[in-house]
Structure 1
Amino acid sequence: MSLTEGLVERYLAVWNESDAENRRKAVAEIWSEDGLYANTGQEFRGHEGIEAAVTEAYVDFVAKGFAFRLHAHSVNHEAARITWNMVPKDGGDIAARGTQYLTFAKDGRIRTDHQFPEEI
């Protein structure tokens, strides 16, 4: 998978996905088996760990009326930067913004994913 095949859209969609089985499948398609997702408080490894992080974010934010939306992205060889906004689903001001720094495995799936919250 490459960014030109819609990885950015799929990446953001998994964080907004309401169906647990669809989240599980998307995590396996987007991250490598030994992938790492790290936010400022924790590290989550492998599909099971990353799925737990995605589900936690869904429960804490999306299920409570927010959505993650793309702000910007860029690619640099085998790495990418995605900046997102968390906004109320029904419209309103940005509640949070963050940047993900991704590196890719040879098969194009995410190998590492580091999140950095930003001031808005």
Structure 2
Amino acid sequence: MTHANDVAENYIALWNETDAGRRRAMLAQGWTEAATYVDPMMKGQGHAEIDALVGAVHARFPGFRFGLLKPADGHGDFVRFSWGLGPDHPIKGSDVLVVEGGKIRAVIGFLDQVPAA
């Protein structure tokens, strides 16, 4: 498996990509076709649905960017890391990824800190 931090950095780069064409290319390169994404607020399967989820986050939080809060770790086919969104990271979460053949097959996301309203 690719180093856990590389996987996490590529994942964060996808979520920060505002150009839909580049984002779809990143999905094709780094995610299996049947990849799944689920967190407490949204879920999707396949490149088109996951791309729509990322686009929805950009629409809701224009100009916000994701960043890793500390280096990722992993074992076997699993990678976990914590991230922050926005200036000063008012929104924080942790994700666990399942990697298959070097590509992301599944993401399970958790929201650790979400401001009221």
Aligning the two structures, in what range does the TM-score lie when normalised by the shorter sequence? 0.7 to 0.9
1:23 maps to 23
Offset from partner CA, 1:75-106 (integer Å, 9 cap, x none)? 12110102101132xxxx3211001111111x
Return the offset for 1:5: 8.4
Q: Which amino acid aligns with 1:32?
A: T
Number of aligned residues: 113
Q: Which amino acid aligns with 1:115?
A: G
In the TM superposition, 1:66-77 aligns within 5 A as 66-72=64-70, 73-77=72-76
Moved over 4 A (4+): none
Moved more, 95-104 or 3-12: 3-12
Identity in percent: 31
SS of the residue aligned with 2:108? strand
Normalised by the length of structure 1, the TM-score is 0.84
Alignment of 1:1-120 (within 5 A): 2-3=2-3, 6-61=6-61, 64-72=62-70, 73-88=72-87, 93-105=88-100, 107-119=101-113
Query: 2:5 & 2:74 partners in 1: Cα distance?
Result: 13
Superposed CA RMSD: 1.8
Contact 2:5/2:73 (8 A) holds in 1:
no
Unaligned runs of 5+ in 2: none
Greater length-normalized contact order (CA 8 Å, ≥ 6 residues apart): 2
Contiguous gaps of at least 5 residues in structure 1? none
Amino acid at match of 1:67: R
Deviation, 1:118, is 0.2
Structure 2 counterpart of 1:52, one-letter code? A
